[in-house]
Structure 1
Amino acid sequence: MKRSVLAIGMMVTALSAQGKATTEVAMVGDSVFIRSEFGANRYLIRKVDLRSLGRGNEVVNFAGARMVSANGDIPFERGYTISQENDDATPLKFNGTYIGANHGAFFGVKIPCDPCSGLAGTKWKDAEGTAFRVVTIDKRSVTLISDEQGKAGSWSFKIQAVGDLSQIGGLKVLRTEKQERDQIYPSVKRISESVNGGLLASLNENYQATNKVEVGEEYQLLSPDRGRSPVAIVKVRYVFHGLKTDVYTDVKALSTLHSFSMGGAQAGAINFRGARLEQMVEAGSTLSQWSDRTDGPEALRVQASEAVASQRVVGGAYSFGQTVGVVSATINGHPAAQANRVDLSAARKLYPIAIDGVTLNPGDVVSVKAYRNYWPGDEPVAAN
Structure 2
Amino acid sequence: MIETSNPKIIYKMMPHLVSYHSPYMIVIFWLAASLLVSVSLFAVFFYKWKVLTQVLVFKAAVHTRLATILEITPKESDKRLQLSAKIIKCMNEGVIVTDLNGNIMTTNLAFTRLTGYREEEAQGRNLSLLLSEQFSPGFLNEVWEKLIDCGYWQGEIRNKHRSGLIHVLNMRVYSIYSDNGQLECYAAIMEDITERKLNEEKMRYRAYYDSLTALPNREFFHNRLIQAFEEAKQNQSRIAVMFLDVDGFKGVNDSYGHLVGDQLLQEFAGRIKFTQADSSDNIARFGGDEFILFTEIHTEREAASLAEALLTTISKPYRINDCSIEISCSIGISLYPDQGQDVQDLIKLADEAMYIAKKRGKNNYQFRHQSACGTTLLQR
Into which bin does the TM-score normalised by the smaller protein fall?
under 0.3
Structure number with greater CO (CA < 8 Å, separation at least 6) is 1
Q: TM (normalized to structure 1)?
A: 0.18
* Greater helix fraction, Structure 1 or Structure 2: 2
Q: 1 or 2, which has the higher strand percentage?
A: 1
Which has more radius of gyration?
Answer: 2
What is the TM-score when the length of structure 2 is the normalising length? 0.18
